[in-house]
Structures are given as structure tokens and as C-alpha cells.
Structure 1
Amino acid sequence: MGGKFLEMDLADLIDTDDDETLKIRNLVMNEGLTSNQVLLKHPELLHRHRDVDRMYQAQQSRVGRGYRKDLEVHYLYGLPGVGKTHMVYNSVDDMDTIYRVSDYEHPFDEYSNEPVLLLDEFSGQMKFETFLQAIDIYPTRLSARYHNKRANWHVVWLVSNLSLKKLPWYSSSAVSKAQWNALCRRLTSYRRMELDRTLTDLELPVYSLAEVFAEDSDLAAHPSLCS
């Protein structure tokens, strides 16, 4: 039965009045359940999981069109096995609120509107432009195989074994100094976890305006482009 609705336009899906679709719409739109909650409580709807997710995405788009002015983006690095990921999970009351990415080939395929995004073992595997979109306060839709996903997280954790300067984007000809500074401006914190699990606050490795202007003559002629 799920195949019948697989290629339906979202508007048609919302307007369809068969019993299953009405049930999905009520659970998502009226009861406010997430995609995962619907499928856990109603396993008989598993064959409609894509429709459940699409309905939930539509609901989230309705209620969350504004920008995420409270978005936090934390970069945490340290030696392997020191406890970085463990610390992130300990920072929340419910581990199910974290969407953890470890497969960077299709990072957002399974995203289901979790409020916390964890980019684990991060070493710059994503396209730079996609990464900037993921940590932007403005409404963003990210590519996924089945259908695009709306970024509804309010906290982003970048957990890495590498310092920012050791990411491939730093000193890369593919990423300008102005673009690198744009990345740094979006970070709420930049910390290193020590062997005793204490955290050390670090200064962001931003380029000076002189370095930015020296690289790009257009920016030198229009300094406001760097603001």
C-alpha cells in the first residue's frame, strides 16, 4: 500500500482521506508526534515511514519558518578516546534528541528533526558549502536521498581529533580566507578536551582583514562584503 503514495505530491498526500493517511495526519499535525514517535507507537505504519516523515517535515516547515537565532555551534577536539562524544551525550537529558552523523556520504538521510546535531569524528568530510548551510541560523533544506530535509536543530556539536587549523579547508585554495572567517563567526565555542577531560577555551584562528583583502581585490575595494 505504501507504494501507492510514494510518488504523490505532498499537497495531495495532505489532502488524501484514506484511513491510514488520516491517522498519520492526526498523529503528526494534531497530536504533535515526531516521525520516530509515530512509528514506535504505531508499528502498523512502518510501511508508510516515508509518508510519515514527509508529513512531519511539512508540519515543521509550518511552525519553524523563522531563523534560528538561538543556534549554538560548538567545536570540540582532542585525542581519540579522551571522551569527547561521551561528554556530548551526557549534556542532554534524552539521547534520542541527538542526531549523530558518522557516515558522511549521505549524512542527513535518517534525520528526523532531532534538536541536536552531532557531527562525530569530523575532519572536513562534507562539502564546505553544505557545512556552512548546516550551521547557518537561516532556514535551510539539506539534500537527502529520499527527500530533502529541513534543518531544525538548535545545537550543533562538531567533535573531531583535529584542531580547526588542521581541517583541509584551512589554507586551501578552494576556500577563501573570507569564507574561512565566515565559518569561524558561526562558532559559539572552540575548545580542546585534555587528557583529564577538562576543557580549554581556544581563540578562533581567523584571518586578519589585511590578509583577506590581500587575497581578494574585490573585497579590498568593498570592505563591507566582509561584515
Structure 2
Amino acid sequence: MRDVQVKCFFGATGAGKTRSALESADWADIYRATHYNSGAFDGYDAHDVLILDEFRGQLPVSQLLTMSDLYPCKLAARYADRQAAYTSLYLLSNDGPWDWYPSATEETKRALCRRFTEVREFTSVGKSRVLEKEEVLERMLDSKLAS
């Protein structure tokens, strides 16, 4: 089993979300996915940090739940799936996590929120705030009402 730290950085464009994630480790230890179609994880090679950049819910929620869980999983690649070895997963988005899966069930939203170790909102360059899990979950549960 892996102890996966799941960090969600969201907010204003150009506010430093990607930079903050990239500064978390040596570049050689980071795999950054920027698209989510076939081949997104072809270059993944047991990197310790996985960054899903410009994320807006492009992956099915069931896949994201599996990827953010402590149990072993594979990352789909074109020629051979890759064994996930990362211990840090960054979800970088302009949108808050409540916007990714508005039609998901309440239980699914709770499962996703439970996996977050940090949710940070970036408001401008050098300015961010950590959100409490209770606030994140409340907004996730309210998102179905707004959609």
C-alpha cells in the first residue's frame, strides 16, 4: 500500500499553482500530465510525484478515486499500463473540485473529498489559502443543486 498525499490546487490563472507543485520535488521525480486522452501516462516511469495539470474532471470519477487511493493501481498507457508508484498526486485546476463532477452521487463526492490531504485556493501570485475539508465537502454537496 502507498500513503498518497492528494493535493488540490485551484484558482486564478497565473497565480502559481503549477509552479508550487513543480517546486515540491526534483524535476526528475515529477511526471506532469497535461492532456487526458490516450497516451496521457505513456511516459510515466515510477515517478514519485504525479501532477494532473489543467484538470477539470476529464477522467471518470471512478478512475480518479482509484488513482488517489492507497491501494496499488495501474495507469492506462497505450502499449503497456504503468504501475503507479507516486506518493504525491497534485490536481491543478482553475475550477474548484466541486465543479469537476457535479452530477456524482453524494457518497462519491464524500469519497473524493476524504482523499484530499490539502485543498488550496490560489487567488493571485503569491497569495493562497488552505480550505478546511468541511468547507470543501459542503461546496461539493451543494454543487449538484447549482448545476
Unmatched 5+ residue regions in structure 2?
142-147
How many residues in Structure 1 have an aligned counterpart in Structure 2?
A: 136
User: In structure 1, what is the Cα distance between the partners aligned to 2:132 and 2:106?
Assistant: 17
Secondary structure of the corresponding residue to residue 178 of structure 1: helix
SS across alignment from 1:194: strand
Within the candidate set 127, 134, 137, 1:206 is matched to 137
Task: Work out the CA distance in 2 between the residues paired with 1:176 and 1:195.
Answer: 32
Within a 5 Å distance, the mapping from 1:45-194 to structure 2 comes to: 67-68=1-2, 70-92=3-25, 94-106=26-38, 107-167=40-100, 169-170=101-102, 172=103, 175-194=104-123
Task: Tell me the amino acid that sits aligned with residue 74 of structure 1.
Answer: K
Structure-1 separation of matches of 2:125 and 2:43: 34
Percent of counterpart pairs with the same letter?
Answer: 35
Q: Is the 8 A contact 2:6 2:89 kept in 1?
A: yes
The answer to which of 191-200 and 95-104 deviates more is 191-200
Q: Higher helix proportion, which one?
A: 1
Q: Between the two structures, name the one with larger relative contact order (CA 8 Å, sep ≥ 6).
A: 2
Structure 2 Cα separation of the partners of residues 161 and 114 of structure 1: 24
In structure 2, what is the Cα distance between the partners aligned to 1:118 and 1:142? 13
Q: Deviations over 1:87-131 (max 9, x none)?
A: 111222x21211000010032121111000000011001111111
Whole-Å Cα distance in 1 between the matches of residues 17 and 60 of structure 2?
24
Alignment match, 2:145: none
Q: Which structure is higher in strand share?
A: 2
AA of the residue aligned to 1:123: R
Distance 1:197 1:78 in 2: 12
Deviations along 1:55-103, whole A, 9 cap, x unmatched? xxxxxxxxxxxx01x21000001111111111111222x2121100001
Give the residue type in structure 2 aligned to 1:80: T
Structure 2-normalised TM-score? 0.86
Deviation of 1:166 after TM superposition, in Å, equals 1.7
Task: Using structure 1 for the length normalisation, give the TM-score.
Answer: 0.57
Superposition deviation, residue 145 in structure 1: 1.1
Letter in 2 for 1:105: N
